[in-house]
Amino acid sequence: MKGLLVLLLIFVIPPLFAVDQQGTATQPSVRRKQDISLPFNEYYALALLAKWRVSSIELPQHTDFFNDIDGNDIYGADLNNNQIRDDYEKMLLSSYERPEYVVMGILATKKWNILFDVYTNNVQIHTLQQAKTIFIDNIAINRCYYDLQQIDRHLASPILAYFNTDDRLNAKRLAEEQLLAAIGENHHTLVFHNQPCEIFSELLKVALNSEQALAFR
């Protein structure tokens, strides 16, 4: 049962836990609205969108929200070669007015893609710490979206748009099961992010500081 509850944390998003100073999971807590803010501002979001060539002009015009031409491949089609799946990129540009939200949706894929990599064995789990890091980072993304919904009730996580087919959902589930198996009885040693939105700040810094900003998946 514990394994099932932990598995649900990655997908469902609710704040089911808090973390004390020793990093031990404690009772649920709700962050105050005044303590919640976006992980970066519009200036940096626009800079990253320009660097990644993310715009409706760059996007292949035939792209469909739910059907990409590589539908049999969980990674999907990327005809404009900016390492963002075309149907997902179109969804972000069409659904979010704020560039910060578009960039967050893109940055999240750098962690969500790792679940695909685990599923396809492009990434193999060799250590407990590796499994814990992937697991914790995915929870941080979900928790950040939940927190931001406290100050913007119209904000929705794009997670369902990214895992938008049965094959992608199944790949996600099996990858999570593999992570849980690697963590095993060490789940009590998980130390969750006290400031979950910092995961996006960290990803942004990597992207802006990298000479090859698209190669940090």
DSSP-assigned letters across all residues of 116-174: HHHHTTSS---SHHHHHHHHHHHHHHHHHHHHHTTT-TT---SHHHHS-SHHHHHHHHH
Q: What is the pLDDT of residue 56?
A: 87
Q: What is the pLDDT of residue 58?
A: 82
Q: What is the pLDDT of residue 37?
A: 86
Name the residue type at position 81. Answer: N
Token pair belonging to 2:
């514990």
Q: What is the pLDDT of residue 75?
A: 95
Q: What is the pLDDT of residue 60?
A: 78
Positions of the chain with pLDDT under 50: 1-8, 12-28, 211-217
Asked whether 134 and 118 are in contact (CB, 8 A), the reply is yes
Q: What is the pLDDT of residue 125?
A: 96
Q: What is the pLDDT of residue 1?
A: 40
Token pair belonging to 147:
């927190």
Distances (CA, A) of 186 to 132, 169, 195: 9, 26, 22
- Residue 25, classed as helix, strand or coil, is strand
Distance CA 27, CA 166 (A): 34
- Residue 18, classed as helix, strand or coil, is strand
Distance CA 105, CA 200 (A): 10
Per-residue pLDDT tens digits for 53-81? 999 888 877 655 555 555 558 999 999 99
Q: What is the pLDDT of residue 12?
A: 46
Asked whether 125 and 179 are in contact (CB, 8 A), the reply is yes
Q: What is the pLDDT of residue 92?
A: 97
Q: What does DSSP assign to residue 202?
A: H
Q: What is the pLDDT of residue 164?
A: 96
